[in-house]
Structures are given as C-alpha cells and as structure tokens.
Amino acid sequence: MMSDEYIIEMRGIDKAFPGVQALSKVDFFLRRGEIHALVGENGAGKSTLIKVLTGVEKPDAGHIILDGEEVRVRSPLHAQELGITTVYQEVNLCPNLTVAENILIGREPKRLGSINWKAMNAQAKEILQRLDVNIDVTKPLGLYPVAIQQMTAIARALEVASARVLILDEPTSSLDMHETDQLFRVMRRLKSEGVAIIFITHFIDQVYQISDRITVLRNGRLVGTFETASIPRLELIAKMIGRSLTELDEMSQIKLESRKHIKGEALMRAKGLGFTGGIEPFDLELHAGEVLGLAGLLGSGRTELAQLLFGIEKPDSGVLEMEGEEITRFSPLASIGRGVALCPEDRKEAGIVDDLTVRENIILALQASRGWFKYLSKQQQYEIADRYIKLLNIATPSADQPVKNLSGGNQQKVILARWLATNPKVLILDEPTRGIDVGAKAEIQRLVLSLAEEGKACLFISSELEEVLRTSHRIAVLRDRKKVTEFSGEVDEHRIMQAIAGGEA
C-alpha cells in the first residue's frame, strides 16, 4: 500500500555481500519535508541502505517507491536525475576550481557559445545566498574551510540535481559548533521548502537537536522508526547498542581475582591531553595490572584517544607521562620503544599484511623496533612465532601459512601476537574482537585479563558495552569527542548508557 505521506518508501530491502548479509528485509520511509536521522553503530547497514537508494548497489530483494511509483535506481547519476542526491563527509568537489564553477559545472550559462562568467558568478552567488552563505564565488573552493565546501556541495545538489531528497552523510564530523549551527539553519530552511533530508550521524545530541524522526539499524536489520520527541535518549542508545543486562558469568570471577594485581602508581598518565578536531583535553591514568575500558558510541573519540596515546596523532594541548617522565616525541616508533603497543581497529587495513605469512606478521613490530640492521634470524623468528601460536591457540597449519588464509578470529590473534612479541608495558586494544565469533571473543577477553595479571596496563576499546563491562576494572565514558565521566568498581549497563546519552533517561 503506497502513501502520499512519503516521498520515498524502501520496502523489504535485502543486500548480501560474500559472507555478509548487509541488509535483511529493511523498511525505510521518508516523509516530504522532514529531517530523518539514520543511526546505528559500525556495520549496522546505514551506508549499504544509502548505496541501494542512490544506485551504487543493486538490492537483492525489495522495492523502492518514489513519489508513489516504483523505481529501479540504476546509478548515482540516475538517482540525481530522480532528485535524490548525497553530500558526503569527504566533499567530492574540485578544490582548484572556483566556487561558482563547482556549483554550475556542466550547466554554465553561455553567451555566443562561450561561458558567460559574469552571469555564472551572479547565479552562483544567488544560489549560495539561499543558504545564508555570502562569499566571493570567484575564489578557488580549496581556499575555504570544510563548512563552506559542504555548503557549496549542498548548493550544487540543489541546483544541478534539483534535489527533492538530500542525503547528508556525517556532515558535521569536521565542523565546529558555529559551523554546525549554520548547517542546521540551512537544513531547517530546506525542510520548510519541502526538501526531505536524511541525516546520517553518530552525534546523539545533534539527532535530538535537528531531526523529526529517527530510524535505527543494527546488524543489517531494522530496529524501528521513532518520532524523535517520543523516544528518550537512553532508550535510543539501548536500541543502537542492542544490549540488555545479562547474567554474570565466569569472566566476573576472573576479573574479581585479577583486581589484586593492580598497582597503585600510574604507568601512563595524561593531563589535559587533546588535539583539535580529534578529542577535547582529557585526564587519564593507566595502571600496571589494570584493564581500563573505553565506552562510547561510534565517533565519540575512542580511536582518536588511542591514536594520541600511541603517537599516531600529536597533541596540541596537555602533557603525557610514561613512568613519571614527560613524553616529548610522539610517533608510533617512539611509542614502541617506550613499551606501548596498539592493536588497531581495522585489522584488514591497518593490521595484518595479507601477503605475508603468520610468522612474518608476528615478528613485524619487533623487527621494526630493533631496526632493519639488527635482523632477527630465521630461527629466532620461528621461535617467537611458534611461542605465540601456542600461547594464543592460533589455528594455523604452520607459521608459514599465509595469514590471509586464517579466519578473522585467528587473524586478530596474530595481530595480538605481533604486539605481545614486543613485550609491551601498555597494550592499547581498539575493537580487538570485532567481526569474530563468540568463542574467539571469549578467548581474547580472558587473554586481556591474564595479560593484566602479568602486570601490563591494558586500554580496552569496544562498541559492545557488555564486553567492556565483562573485561574492564575501570571504565571511562566518551561522548562527542569528550571524556565525560569514569566508573570504578562494579557498575551496570544502565548507568553507563545514561552517561553515553548525556545523563538523560
């Protein structure tokens, strides 16, 4: 049954990729002249749903209805012709061209067969004024900040695609508060003109500030669509995370036993540490023998904090100390030398090296820390690899097996082995169990606690709140790139979700 209320109806959308069901029978309904937030954690299916709507991906099943008529969106260009356009987080315009050229490229006003530059500049200026943007449109776009570039992309969408549906994909991730307010004013104006806006964001405060309705996806399935005014923040967070209170298991006992190994003096201490555009200044202590969990939604600043502590990012405020000494050199190599290790969030992109063997992957960080002139002999390499294959129970026929042939869980263990081989004092684990099965998750959680018992300080980051609770002695909560609070001792999910949601139930 079709409705005049909706400009877009997506019904029963299925989309599978090899080994992954990205969308399963998802329904999505967009009203005319509304701002509709699309939310969910990593892997929820948001990007895939938008790719299906804009013709980047073809659905395996389901229907898309635009203005009451079923359509098959063949490509992004076809989507634009239908009045559906996307402005991405990374603005995909031409920074070397002028603002006016970017807005009207391919539709330039002509006179006697040539571009009428005066008319084009005047037309571009008029389009931008509709968005409350008054700038010199004859200057190259690259000279302007990201906020203006995004406004230019929106202006182009409205002019070229005559957009009736505007998709804004993480538009505020690189904007400050003033620029975000300006964008929201433009969004409200477009809404009043009848444009329907899909707003994809991980900032919960902004969802409540600007949206009329919210659709929540989790693990490729629709959790529900809600009027923003009717769903409390805490309930929204719970639906996104998909966690409820669970019975305590043997992990609780293991964690309780391991508490007695925590040392009083901080091994690593951050005081007012932060970097602009990444994470606001924070205080944090890591103790030997302790697992400190980081809780927060996607985009809350967890990875940025980890990268700052490991030296991938450099601070522009505050002080970082290691064993009482202030750190002045910020780089991954310097961090390895200090005894700090980072298992990155994306094991495919920043973790394993596909074409190398298990052995070569395991000895990589240790060899880098020694320098290439102090080469590990083959015998040493095999001794190290075999030791950690046995210790971590890595399922592989041999140390010479290509790592790409291993399961996700075993690849994750190889990355852990790589960093354990450097014998770190501080181990930063960014989503160490993402995408692996339940059995492998439990093994890694136990391993983290056993490493703490050996005297290592572990920073444990996970999107799964239950996992953070099961594994951590202390929990720091991040929200909107700020550390907002810290919990020690026993704490339940409800209190942490309240902190993630901004203290509102």
In this predicted structure, the answer to whether residue 490 has a pLDDT above a threshold of 60 is yes
**187, 217, 241: which is the final residue of a domain?**
241
Would you state the pLDDT for residue 181? 85
Q: Is 126 part of a structural domain of the chain?
A: yes
- Is the domain of 28 the same as that of 141? yes
pLDDT in tens, 190-214: 899 899 999 998 778 889 999 999 9
Residue 296 backbone class (left: φ over 0; alpha: ψ -120 to 50; beta: rest): left
- Is the domain of 466 the same as that of 414? no
- Is the domain of 225 the same as that of 274? no
Residue 472 backbone class (left: φ over 0; alpha: ψ -120 to 50; beta: rest): beta
**pTM exceeding 0.75:** no
By residue range, what is the domain housing residue 258?
A: 246-339+424-505
- Is the domain of 393 the same as that of 440? no
In this predicted structure, the answer to whether residue 468 has a pLDDT above a threshold of 70 is yes
- Is the domain of 232 the same as that of 266? no
Q: Is 344 part of a structural domain of the chain?
A: no
Q: Which two tokens stand for residue 147?
A: 């906020």
Distance, CA of 65 to CA of 329 (rounded, Å):
56
pLDDT in tens, 331-342: 988 998 898 988
- Is the domain of 316 the same as that of 390? no
Q: What is the CATH number of the domain that holds 24?
A: 3.40.50.300
- Is the domain of 84 the same as that of 174? yes
pLDDT in tens, 350-398: 567 878 899 999 988 788 777 767 788 889 899 999 988 887 778 888 8
Closest CA to 204 of 86, 300, 347: 300
Would you state the pLDDT for residue 21? 86
Distance, CA of 305 to CA of 483 (rounded, Å):
10
- Is the domain of 48 the same as that of 154? yes
Q: Is 80 part of a structural domain of the chain?
A: yes
**389, 404, 423: which is the final residue of a domain?**
423
pLDDT in tens, 215-227: 999 889 999 999 9
pLDDT range class, residue 248, cuts 50, 70, 90: very low
In this predicted structure, the answer to whether residue 305 has a pLDDT above a threshold of 90 is yes
Alpha-helical segments (H) within 99-232 = 99-104, 117-129, 146-160, 177-192, 204-210
- Is the domain of 119 the same as that of 236? yes
- Is the domain of 210 the same as that of 321? no
**378, 397, 423: which is the final residue of a domain?**
423
Distance from first CA to last CA of the chain, Å, rounded? 36
Distance, CA of 341 to CA of 405 (rounded, Å):
25
Would you state the pLDDT for residue 192? 92
- Is the domain of 431 the same as that of 444? yes
Q: Is 457 part of a structural domain of the chain?
A: yes
pLDDT in tens, 89-135: 666 788 899 999 988 887 788 888 888 999 999 989 988 887 788 89
Strand 291-295 with 457-461, pairing:
parallel
Closest CA to 215 of 228, 230, 196: 228
Q: Is 346 part of a structural domain of the chain?
A: no
- Is the domain of 387 the same as that of 484? no
How far apart, in Å, are the Cα atoms of 311 and each of 306, 315, 336, 339, 429?
A: 9, 9, 10, 12, 15
Q: Is 37 part of a structural domain of the chain?
A: yes
